[in-house]
Chain A
Amino acid sequence: MDAAVRDALSARLLAMADDELVLAHRNSEWTGHAPILEEDIAFTNMALDELGHASIWYGLYGELTGEDADRLIFFRNAGQYRNAQLVELPRGDWAFSMVRQYLFDAAEYVTLNHLKASSYSPLAEAAAKIATEESYHLRHTGLWLRRLGLGTEESHGRAQAALNVLWPYARQLFVPLPNDDVLVEAGIFPAAGLLLNEWTSMTRSHLADCGLTVPEEALPRRDVDRAEHTEHLMALLAVMQSVARLDPEAEW
């Protein structure tokens, strides 16, 4: 593989893996605390699914770079993570976590749809495998959003408040990486602008069906680099990495 393509692809894979990992960790914080037992099981399962997806993307990243997933996960600092800020925000209330998961699921759904036809076959095969699971996630969160949005005054208020905060953050998922054009040209990864358009029409239509209003930004939010993080990521990593860092050479 051409060095420029390899560098661009590994940057993209790391971003995808970090998004999934950090979201999985945030969602796992609901384990034992979800509103009802059945949802506790379901959301924990979804956190595990995202962790599984992260593992797949780290694996592909490792094939290109020779790096080990466990080292990447447990021994990088916040500034070395490439996840979007959307997934590192604290879990908030149930509506906040559901709206975030929905916005992320929709982004993953439209991305995987394109990746299934990626010219890089390991990526296409992984995408096909993950897509089935992801369509379940999207249905799950889609159904929840409908009930929150059209439910009681309180559920609607909480879902709308969550959307007002999360919508601008979600756009960072579609900020192109510096060398994305190399991937687009090689038919490996779709153009971020294309994904943003598909995601926007999909989410706007469903959110409207749920009685939720997309906040119109007075000023477009600037494109935030994936190396920039909120203070929440440091706190998350401190918890997630604490055991591994107690004894870096421990056998797992």
Chain B
Amino acid sequence: MTDQWPRYEVFKQDRTDGPFRNVGSVHAPDAELALMNARNVFARRPACVALWVVPDAAIARRTAEQLAAGDAVEIEDSGDSGRYAVFSKQSQRQTMTYVDYVGEVTARSVEAALQTAADTFTDVPGIVWWACPVEAITASPQSDLPGFEAATSKLFRMPNQYHTVFTMQKIRRGEEGEE
């Protein structure tokens, strides 16, 4: 038993022609509040045109090695086919786990979607694959755009924009009051 709210993975789109990229996660009691928390945590300053949140529990994840070993196909297909959004981690260079949205596939289970994605998007270097049902994604409404734009106009002040830094340096050098 945990007293934590469920975790949602957050995907942020920096430009309208850019990918939705996983930037981290938030806890929230529901998707609506998850979007709100995501905005506050991940889009207060940086460029952002749209956000997605997806319940962590709705996401299946496999490494390329696991897929190659047939890990995903061993899971029995469950019922009718559906549409799945698939994501892949494409580089090891970033210290953060950047996982980008790649596209949609049709599959009979979320695990099968992972294998289908790896087989379909062969031009994408998928180190790790993620998949979730498309209906598990909650997207920020178009009406959020003015708010995102307003956020980017906020001034981010570095510490040296305040006189205090120079004053402290002067005090350390023993120059205080010598002006």
Contact = CB atoms under 8 A, between A and B. Distances in A.
A252 B40 contact: no
B167 A251 contact: yes
Contact of A252 (B41, B44, B146, B163): B163
Interface in B128-179: 146-147, 150, 162-164, 167
Given A36-B5, A147-B29, A251-B163, A42 B37 contact: yes
A207 to B, nearest CB: 19
Contacts of B37: 38-39, 41-42
B27 A36 contact: yes
B57 interface: no
B36 A139 contact: yes
A223 interface: no
Contacts of A39: 37
B32 interface: yes
Q: What interface size band does chain B fall in?
A: 20 to 34
A88 B48 CA distance: 35
A117 to B, nearest CB: 18
A38 B28 contact: yes
A67 interface: no
A133 B44 CA distance: 11
A41 B147 contact: no
A238 interface: no
A42 B36 contact: yes
Contacts of A42: 36-37, 40-41
Contacts of B147: 132-133, 135-136
Contacts of B32: 143
B26 interface: yes
Interface string A111-146: 000000000000000000100110110011001000
Interface in A57-102: none
A45 interface: yes
Given A36-B5, A132-B146, A41 B29 contact: no
A134 to B, nearest CB: 10
Interface of B: prevailing SS: helix
Contacts, number: 41
User: A-side binding surface: helix, strand, loop or mixed?
Assistant: helix
B27 A143 contact: no
21 contacts: A37-B27, A38-B28, A38-B41, A39-B37, A41-B37, A41-B41, A42-B36, A42-B41, A45-B40, A129-B150, A132-B147, A133-B147, A133-B150, A135-B147, A143-B33, A143-B36, A147-B29, A147-B33, A251-B163, A251-B167, A252-B163
Interface string B18-49: 00000000111100110011011100100000
Contacts of A132: 146-147, 150
B171 to A, nearest CB: 11
A138 to B, nearest CB: 12
Given A36-B27, A133-B147, 4 more contacts: A38-B40, A42-B37, A132-B150, A139-B36
Contacts of A38: 26-28, 37, 40-41
B36 A140 contact: yes
A95 to B, nearest CB: 15
A146 B44 CA distance: 24
Nearest to B26: A38
Contacts of B150: 129, 132-133
Contacts of B40: 38, 41-42, 45
Interface centre among A37, A38, A133, A252 (most CB of B within 10 A): A38
Query: Most chain-A Cβ atoms within 10 A of its Cβ — which of B29, B33, B40, B163?
Result: B40
A189 to B, nearest CB: 24
A141 to B, nearest CB: 10
Interface string A202-234: 000000000000000000000000000000000
Interface in A144-158: 147
Contacts of B26: 38
B58 to A, nearest CB: 19
Contacts of A133: 147, 150
